[in-house]
Amino acid sequence: MPEEARFLSATQLLLTTLMVKLAVVAVVATMLVRFRWFRRLLLTERRAWRERLIFAFAFGVPVSTGVVARLLLDYQAADLTLAGAFIAGLIAGPYTGVIVGSLAGIPALLAGEFAALPFAIGCGFAGGGLREACPKEAIWQFSPFVFTGLHRRAWRFVRSFQIDWQVPLLTAPISLELLRHALGYRFTGRLFYLEATTPVMWVLTLLGVVLSVALPIKIWNSARNEHRLQEQEKLLMAAKVEALASQINPHFLFNTLTSVSSLIRSQPDQARMVITKLSGLLRRLLRSHDHFVTLREELASIDEYLDIETVRFGPTLVVDKQIAPDTLDVVVPSMILQPLVENSIKHGLSPKVGRGRLTIRSVREAGHAIIEVIDNGTGLPQSPKLDRASSGGIGLRNVNERLRVIYGANYQLKLDSTPGHGTCARIEIPELVAAERVTA
């Protein structure tokens, strides 16, 4: 017995060692799952040889280090030979279990524990064999709380004669621990084990080995579920952005065709010109399937739309662009400005008597890109809140919802309007340049 533990009874020492062992297991499992490449390995059940080797060495090296710590420092809680090899086989197959078992058994073999290597390899084969036999999802359902439902599982087996795979998953590490005790007792000094001499110590030992296996599986399964939820959220966001973007095209087309219809009788030549420009714009939209474009590309689309509106309004519509050069490569949601420009012309400038001015302004400030669409039109009848202003049409509602879906609830369309003087629609989004461009 170690000198520092001389005031502990054998049962207390065993309990302390097992608790520290569980802490070591949890730390190793948690550290590994923090690496993205390791989480990816957990997500797939069919792994190539390269992925199996990565898993084996990523998990086997900490297990082997624990054996070395036991041999050099007499730190018995760090020895995870049984649990490590069994888990590796259970998660990644028998050959992976053999590799991890070999990494754990070789240091003990070199220290004179000649039964350690074959026992560790056997644990890896046992875990791998059980993996081949049982459904893969049953493995991930194995948890430290499996004991709480044993009576229900036993009754279900008696009633329906169907195998509950949680029972073999529970009995396998227990059987391996009993085998280790038998071999360690038979070949003294040739195999390390935590000796149990009383019924309480036996219960603690067997409980400890089950928890040593179940705890990493529980941690890794939680990480798998979290990753899947994140992927589902990304897919949901992409679908929502797709749905919102698809609303813009027919809405824009309807309004433009309304403009064309007003020109057909009085100005047929201009109507033909508008149709030509509209076809060019639609070709651009059909060719592009990106949900995100650079501000330069977005402004090019706006130019085509403004060409159509300029034909309609003539010299009474003046367009002023105040675009900061360093904002041209900022990535923005596609078709995000067209509804704002259309809203300014239709509701602000169209009712105005005399010349109307539309200003598009962009700057970069404090890690954000700020884009404003300003008109000197009639303004809105009241000083609006966004929820009131955007409730009137699909365009502003769509812009606001897309900003919230893509960037979060803190990013919304802001309107500032003064009756008789005009309206400013302001978008502020996180700064992302084309080199970092991503899709939803």
CA 90 – CA 178 distance, rounded (Å): 19
What values do phi and psi take at 200, rounded to 5? -65, -40
Cα–Cα dist 153/316, whole Å: 81
Name 294's bridge partners.
Answer: 331
Query: Which tokens sit at 44?
Result: 């797939």
**Domain of residue 11, residue span:** 3-231
**Tokens at 320, concatenated:** 């002023």
pTM as predicted: 0.59
Residue 339, phi-psi category: left (phi > 0), alpha (psi -120 to 50), beta (remainder): alpha
3-state SS class at 114: coil
Whether 242 is covered by a domain: the verdict is: no
Considering the domain architecture, whether residues 195 and 283 belong to the same structural domain is answered as no
Inter-residue contact 310 to 263 (CB < 8 Å): no
Q: What is the mean pLDDT of the chain?
A: 81
Query: 41-55, 154-168, 289-303, 400-414: which has the minimum mean pLDDT?
Result: 154-168
pLDDT-based confidence at residue 374 (cuts at 50, 70, 90)? very high
Same domain? For 281 and 402 the reply is yes
My answer on whether 327 and 223 are in the same domain is no
- Domain match, 336 and 214 both: no
- Asked if residue 133 is part of any domain, the answer here is yes
Residue 388 has pLDDT above 50, yes or no: no
User: Is 96's pLDDT higher than 60?
Assistant: yes
Residue with more model confidence, 108 or 306:
108
Per-residue pLDDT averaged across 198-223, rounded? 91
pLDDT above 50 (res 395)? yes
Render 134-185 in DSSP notation, one character per residue: S-HHHHHT--TTGGGGHHHHHHHHHHH----THHHHHHHHHHHHHHHHHHHH
In a domain, 56, yes or no: yes
Q: Quick one: tokens of 364? A: 């970069």
Residue 167 shares a structural domain with residue 23: yes
* Residue 50, domain member (yes or no): yes
User: 249 is written with which tokens?
Assistant: 């095209």
pLDDT in tens, 28-85: 999 998 888 888 788 777 778 888 899 999 999 999 999 999 999 988 989 999 999 9
295 within some domain: yes
Same domain, 210 and 302: no
- Same domain membership, residue 210 and residue 314: no
* 298 shares its domain with 212: no
- Please indicate, yes or no, whether residues 151 and 286 belong to a single structural domain of this protein: no
pLDDT in tens, 116-142: 999 999 999 999 999 988 888 888 888
Give the pLDDT band of residue 88 (cuts 50, 70, 90): very high
- The verdict on 291 and 202 lying in the same domain is no
Question: 24-38, 92-106, 340-354: lowest mean pLDDT where?
Answer: 340-354
List beta partners, residue 418: 422
Alpha-carbon dihedral sign for residues 402, 404, 407, 413: positive
- The count of structural domains within the chain is 2
Whether 42 and 175 map to the same domain: the answer is yes
Higher-scoring residue by pLDDT: 60, 8: 60
- Residue 238: inside a domain, yes or no? no
User: Quick check: helix, strand or coil at residue 22?
Assistant: helix
* CATH number of the structural domain spanning residue 357: 3.30.565.10
Percent pLDDT > 70 in the chain is 81
With bands split at pLDDT 50, 70 and 90, how would you rate the model's confidence at 100? very high
Q: Tens digits of per-residue pLDDT, 228-273?
A: 777 766 666 666 655 555 555 565 677 667 767 777 877 787 778 7
Establish if 101 belongs to a structural domain.
Answer: yes
* Within a domain: 239: no
The more confident residue out of 432 and 336 is 336
Q: Both 224 and 271 in a single domain?
A: no
Output the CA torsion sign for 41, 45, 47, 53: positive
Helices marked H in 265-292: 268-287
CA dihedral 87, 92, 96, 101 (to 10 degrees): 0
Instruction: Provide φ and ψ at 426, rounded to 5°.
Output: -120, 130
